[in-house]
Amino acid sequence: MTTGRIRRAALAAVLATGIAACSAPGGGGEGGNGGSADAVVIGVSSEPDTLSPLLGYGKDGNSKLFDGLLARAADMKLRPALATELPEVSEDGLTYTFTLRKGVKFSDGEPFTAADVVFTYRTVLDEKTNNPSRSELDAIDDVRAEGDHTVVFTLKYPYAPFAARTVLPIVPEHAAGGQDPNTGSFNTEPVGTGPYTLAGWSKGEKVTFRANPDYWGGEPEVAKVTVAIVADDDVRATRLRSGDLDGAVLPPDLAATFAGDGARKTHEAESYDFRAVTLPTGNPVTGDRAVRRALDAAVDRAAMVETILDGAGHPAYGPLPRRDPWFDRSTERPRDLGGAKRILDRAGWKPGKDGIRVKDGRRAAFTLLTPSGDKVRQDHALAYASDAKEAGIAVTVESATWEVIEPRMKDDAVLAGFGSAGDPDFALFTLLHSSLAGDGFNNMARYDNAEVDEALETGRRTRDRDEREDAYDTVQRALKDDPGYTFLTHIDHLYVLADRWDGLTTQVEPHEHGFASGPWWNVEDWRPTS
């Protein structure tokens, strides 16, 4: 057991003792299910800003309130949802035709039709709608209804992974159409076709869902799902141990403290989720390509996987994990501290009296922001700062809330998390394309590389597999030579959950998880254990 794991195990045990003294397991707080299999309380670290798909909620699927035209099965293959089958695609790849299910109703009893699909996509594509993921639908030229049960998409170019974008949840025009999508009541009072309806939302505390008795896929047996918002990892583990939560998202060392617990199981999900340090190009230190290359060489990724993740992950050499079929294996690289020092020497960054390098009177020093309560990111940040110091670069780690971090992202480095499953375009375009520099959490480093832009455009504008592979190899190799981020680790997601249900599985997950992903991604299909 690593030092970090021992420390957190001891802390969790101490805190659990204190909580158990004043609250019996399953009593009070979010819990109180008494081991009931028809209700579940899940602890996650964060909540969405909105529950409206028009503003980005549930865009990757698995929303409990809504359905897309398509959904993903456990093996990540696309399957029909509101559509009756996979789309019919024209020979030139520019037209996608979907046939819709008949008899589907929204949770308010109104019928679902093709007009709702058209409304949803057109509203998301409207520049007046504050949807940060609009660029993901850039290929759409037009969407139209042909009667009540057929929808036709016309594309500007043959976008190979378009069908996977249609997991986007569908919103009812009658409920959301008469209001401003950015500020309207639909954002907190959603109506959908999904297996659950919203029963309550206490911001910063919990979101409660109840089974939709009229769900077209059949009423779920788990009648109530409560998602408790618990930002601090240690507190989440403590509440799970006390019985206040039935399940939780946990970092590896805290998940390990539940080993041997006969009442709970640990579930591990492969993911595209990675941790990286954004290196803003506008910062006089991180904007220096030599500094970025030196940091990339100095970081000890393997040690981070071993000591921070307890082996639940692997080194990250770019946005795509090593097990992804699109990963370019020529980009794998070991730590090279000597190489990092030589890069800095050649660029004129000379060691000062305190060992920190200086160039033209400026110290090689910058601030690295990391979100409060996220121990995995904090540990990554501290390890990164230690590695950087060995090369002569001073990194000051500062913990803060996202409200503090967001306005500083332009100038300060951030220990960030990203990753999208399904296609390389999903993982790469919004992270790297210069047109999205500074667009919210897209391209946070404000990376600008003409070769990368061209390759990203090629990758999304052709269906030819060889052309796409060449394009994404180009992107990955360019990131090795001109890193806008220091990629650190890819993380396997760990969950601990009471062992009271059958049907639990995991998918290959994106960065965003816990609220929709996790072993509860298909909670509507769970059955009580016999």
Q: Residue 235 falls within a domain, yes or no?
A: yes
Q: What six digits make up the tokens of 403? A: 């409200």
Domain range for 218 is 3-45+203-262+512-528
Q: Residue 193 falls within a domain, yes or no?
A: no
Q: Residue 268 falls within a domain, yes or no?
A: no
User: What is the residue-wise DSSP string for 92-136?
Assistant: TS-EEEEEBPSS-B-TTSPBP-HHHHHHHHHHHHSTTS--TTGGG
For residue 217, the domain's CATH number is 3.40.190
**Nearest Cα to 186, choosing from 136, 134, 119?**
119
Q: Residues 309, 442: one domain?
A: yes
Q: Residues 358, 467: one domain?
A: yes
The kind and range of the H/E element at 152 are strand 150-155
Domain boundary among 137, 152, 187: 187
Q: How far apart are CA 395 and CA 486, in angstroms?
A: 13
pTM of the model: 0.86
- Whether the CB-CB separation of 247 and 391 falls below 8 Å is answered with no
State residue 146's pLDDT score.
Answer: 97
Q: Residues 108, 235: one domain?
A: no
Q: Residues 145, 92: one domain?
A: yes
State residue 4's pLDDT score.
Answer: 40
For residue 133, the domain's CATH number is 3.90.76.10
Domain boundary among 158, 187, 216: 187
Q: Residues 126, 177: one domain?
A: yes
Q: Residue 437 falls within a domain, yes or no?
A: yes
Q: What six digits make up the tokens of 284? A: 């006089």
State residue 62's pLDDT score.
Answer: 87
Q: Residue 230 falls within a domain, yes or no?
A: yes
Q: Residues 307, 251: one domain?
A: no
Q: Residues 67, 85: one domain?
A: yes
Q: Residue 347 falls within a domain, yes or no?
A: yes
Q: Residues 164, 292: one domain?
A: no
Q: Residues 460, 342: one domain?
A: yes
Beta pairing class for 140-145 and 150-155: antiparallel
Q: Residues 454, 524: one domain?
A: no
Q: Residues 69, 91: one domain?
A: yes
For residue 474, the domain's CATH number is 3.10.105.10
Beta pairing class for 95-99 and 140-145: unpaired
Residue type, 390: E
Q: Residue 61 falls within a domain, yes or no?
A: yes
Q: Residue 194 falls within a domain, yes or no?
A: no
State residue 513's pLDDT score.
Answer: 74
**Domain tally for the chain?**
3
Q: Residues 355, 242: one domain?
A: no
- Compute the C-alpha angle 403/406/411, nearest 5°: 140
State residue 15's pLDDT score.
Answer: 33
Q: What is the mean pLDDT of each run of 10 residues along the chain (530 residues)?
A: 36 33 34 72 92 93 94 94 98 97 98 98 97 92 98 96 96 96 95 97 96 96 96 93 95 91 92 96 96 98 96 96 95 97 98 97 98 92 98 98 95 95 92 93 95 97 94 97 97 94 91 83 92
* Residues contacting residue 524 through CB under 8 Å, at least 6 positions apart: 64, 195, 196, 211, 215, 217, 220, 222
Domain boundary among 187, 220, 243: 187
